[in-house]
Chains A and B, each alone.
Chain A
Amino acid sequence: MSMGRFLLRRILQGVFVIWGVVTVVFLLRFVTPGDPITFIAPLDAGPQVRENIARELGLHKPLYVQYFEYLVGLVQGDMGYSYIQGTAARSRIFNRLPATLELAIAASIVAIVISIPLGVVSATRRHDPADYAATTFSLVGISTPNFWLGIMLVLVLAVGLGLFPTSRRAIGFLPGTYFTALITRLTRSGMLDELGKTYVRASRAKGLPETLVRYKHVLRNTLIPVVTVLGLQMGTLIGGAVITEAVFNWPGLGTLVIEAINDRDWVLIQGSLVVIGAGFVIVNILVDATYAYINPQVRAE
């Protein structure tokens, strides 16, 4: 299969998954307890007032009509209007999106730049102080809640030293601590496995320089499973961004979701969950494209 056809198939699958995401998010309103109107209507509202609110928000229509209208709206880029503020959900979501994106992108860059080289160093210098440092770092990294790490940073920097980490970039690594540590561990164990294989011994026996063996053949084979996990675990980065926003009170998509849930502002809840889900699917398609590039076997399947 050519790269183009592979991508096309993957994108079609992605569209299907996004449709699933939209459907699940839409149905969430009907399976969760509590009527949205009760949340919006004044406490003493009579049936007439409630009826009017339902009409105004389009909630009186049958389920399938609402669903269909929501889908049509989404395709046209219309996410509806916030129940509480009455503003367009799209503009509120896309106002908050850049902050979260910046955080998630910064975190993933830091994560990948640190984790893969660290894993390689750790595997190639086994039982060296560098290896012990890297394994300790990655063990603590997958075991520490990043919101707590953020608070400890504030404690040390702001309270202890009088410095204020106000820039999003300065602590951009925070959402990705779990991710970084996980990828470091995977790279290390994957590389150790590969280094023990016969083709490595054969290439060495053939007289290939060690750097070529390690960084061309072994690393490439190591990266194949690592990239798979990278795609699957991207979610921890977004989750990390959400909670980092909460720790530092930054207005991002994560804090918006939490506000919307507490307000039961369904239009906003649906919109932001759809954007997060769709973003995640797109990222995964990009990861798969990278995957297919380094491992032509996948395209053949």
Chain B
Amino acid sequence: MIWELLSTIFGPVWKLLRGGVSPRTVRNLRKEFRNSLLAKIGVALVVAAILVAAFAPLLAPHDPTNQNLDKSNLPPIGFSKETTETSSEMVNGSIEVVNETVFVEADPAHPLGTDSLGRDMLSRVIYGARTSLLVGLFGTAIAAIAGVTVGLVAGYYGGKVDDALMRSADVMLAFPSLVLAVALVGLFGKAAVRVPDPLVAIGIEPGMPASFALPGTVILVVGLVNWVWFARVARGEALSIEGEEYVKAARSVGADDGFILRKHVLPNSVTPILVLATIQIAAIILLESALSFLGFSGTTLSWGFDIAQGRGYLASSWWISTVPGVAIVLTVIGINLVGDWLRDALDPGIEGEGGGP
């Protein structure tokens, strides 16, 4: 099911890319990639994150939801430590507080330690990559489809249509995206879609969760909150292309507006939209982590959720909040470096566009 979802949305995107990206563009991309160490690091980080997310059941050493209270709050390897455990005991009818020094040793079965319920941190971080990347991809796809449609129509028709659409974009922009997203997810509910895990379904890793929760409301909301950025860029492109000779020529032979928009205006706007989409995936992953952190998410297998969980154990178990945060930073740095690479190679002239978290 997840593959069908991905292919129905990204199949047309791929076709559009093949049509809209010229051989010269590909050459520029290659050249820039060869010359830039940062581009290579970015691609490596993104590929690593995608592989981790796709093969989570194979890579995770444990079921990420499996609780084991005997093994709670174990430190990562190399961080075994002494702690003082306070307990109260009844001695001769009165309560006495006993401080005991306990040596908590790291367990090689849990390389990144465990959380307060004894769940394996490494497995949770691996599964968390799925939530982040899927929300990033689907959220951006929704924002792009909605925003590009609005932007192209506004820029192409101009006049009153443009005014009406862009004023509604202004109203959208008046809300900070995080505040709006919190309000929408909070009010519409945190519905999630259970998606069967393809790898577990074909019997490769039967011990792992058979399905995972795709936070549906969150995906819709982060998409809705960010369409404006795509609308702005697409509108600019449509405005600049609208007066071109080939558009006039197409119109003079009787092509209708829908055809011109789809066949001429859209393919010519692919480059800036592609670059914007990359930046937007990064921003949406940050937004998702903030929403999960605040408790507005449909899934508990999320980096932001784990950071919030670990907040209560900072003094004793620092790794619970630290580890997922490092995963977010590495993933988002990777995506931003890829965005920089695309921007430097394609020069789409959209400096500074794109919503923050």
A-side residues, CB < 8 A to B, are 13, 16-18, 20-21, 24, 28, 32-34, 139-140, 142-145, 147-148, 151-152, 154-155, 158-159, 178-179, 182, 186, 189-190, 225-226, 228-229, 232-240, 242-243, 246-247, 254, 257-258, 261-262, 264, 269, 273, 276-278, 280-281, 284
Is residue B17 contacting chain A, with contact meaning CB distance below 8 A? no
Is residue B182 contacting chain A, with contact meaning CB distance below 8 A? yes
CB distance from B272 to the nearest CB of A (A): 15
The CA-CA distance from A232 to B226 in the complex, in Å, is: 13
Instruction: Give the residue of B174, B175, B333 whose beta carbon is less than 8 angstroms from that of A143.
Output: B333
Using CB atoms, name the residue of chain B closest to A189.
B351
Is residue B141 contacting chain A, with contact meaning CB distance below 8 A? no
The CA-CA distance from A145 to B183 in the complex, in Å, is: 19
A280 pairs with B174, CB closer than 8 A = yes
A239 pairs with B186, CB closer than 8 A = no
B321 pairs with A277, CB closer than 8 A = no
Is residue B176 contacting chain A, with contact meaning CB distance below 8 A? yes
Residue numbers in B under 8 Å from A232 (CB-CB) = 173, 352
CB-CB contacts below 8 Å: B310-357 with A: 310-311, 314-315, 318, 321-322, 325, 328-329, 332-333, 336-337, 351-352, 355-357
Residue numbers in A under 8 Å from B325 (CB-CB) = 144-145, 148, 151-152
The CA-CA distance from A111 to B332 in the complex, in Å, is: 21
Using CB atoms, name the residue of chain B closest to A178.
B356
Residue numbers in B under 8 Å from A18 (CB-CB) = 174
Is residue B307 contacting chain A, with contact meaning CB distance below 8 A? yes
CB distance from B80 to the nearest CB of A (A): 18
Residue numbers in B under 8 Å from A24 (CB-CB) = 171
The CA-CA distance from A148 to B176 in the complex, in Å, is: 19
CB distance from B294 to the nearest CB of A (A): 6
Residue numbers in A under 8 Å from B333 (CB-CB) = 139-140, 143
CB distance from A267 to the nearest CB of B (A): 14
Residue numbers in A under 8 Å from B328 (CB-CB) = 143-145, 148
What is the number of contacts between chain A and chain B, taking CB atoms within 8 Å?
Answer: 165
A243 pairs with B294, CB closer than 8 A = yes
CB distance from B187 to the nearest CB of A (A): 4
Is residue B4 contacting chain A, with contact meaning CB distance below 8 A? no
A32 pairs with B188, CB closer than 8 A = yes
Instruction: Please give me the 10 A-B residue pairs with the lowest Cβ-Cβ distance, nearest first.
Output: A239-B178, A236-B356, A235-B176, A261-B186, A20-B171, A229-B352, A143-B332, A148-B325, A32-B187, A238-B176
Interface string of B267-290 (1 = CB under 8 A from A): 000000000000000100010011
Is residue B7 contacting chain A, with contact meaning CB distance below 8 A? no
CB distance from A242 to the nearest CB of B (A): 6
The CA-CA distance from A214 to B248 in the complex, in Å, is: 44
B356 pairs with A20, CB closer than 8 A = no
The CA-CA distance from A246 to B356 in the complex, in Å, is: 18
Residue numbers in A under 8 Å from B186 (CB-CB) = 258, 261-262
The CA-CA distance from A232 to B175 in the complex, in Å, is: 11
B352 pairs with A186, CB closer than 8 A = yes
B182 pairs with A147, CB closer than 8 A = no
Is residue B215 contacting chain A, with contact meaning CB distance below 8 A? no
Using CB atoms, name the residue of chain B closest to A135.
B38
B171 pairs with A239, CB closer than 8 A = no
The CA-CA distance from A18 to B175 in the complex, in Å, is: 11
The CA-CA distance from A17 to B166 in the complex, in Å, is: 11
A239 pairs with B321, CB closer than 8 A = no
A148 pairs with B321, CB closer than 8 A = yes
Which residue, B173, B282, B352, has most C-beta atoms of chain A within 10 A?
A: B352
- With A139-B337, A186-B352 as given contacts, are A20 and B167 in contact (CB-CB < 8 Å)? yes
B182 pairs with A257, CB closer than 8 A = yes
Which residue, A17, A147, A238, A262, has most C-beta atoms of chain B within 10 A?
A: A147
B176 pairs with A20, CB closer than 8 A = no
CB distance from A175 to the nearest CB of B (A): 10
Residue numbers in B under 8 Å from A20 (CB-CB) = 167-168, 170-171, 174
- With A143-B329, A228-B352, A236-B357 as given contacts, are A242 and B183 in contact (CB-CB < 8 Å)? no
A33 pairs with B336, CB closer than 8 A = no
Instruction: Give the residue of B167, B189, B293 whose beta carbon is less than 8 angstroms from that of A147.
Output: B293
The CA-CA distance from A159 to B352 in the complex, in Å, is: 38
The CA-CA distance from A190 to B286 in the complex, in Å, is: 25
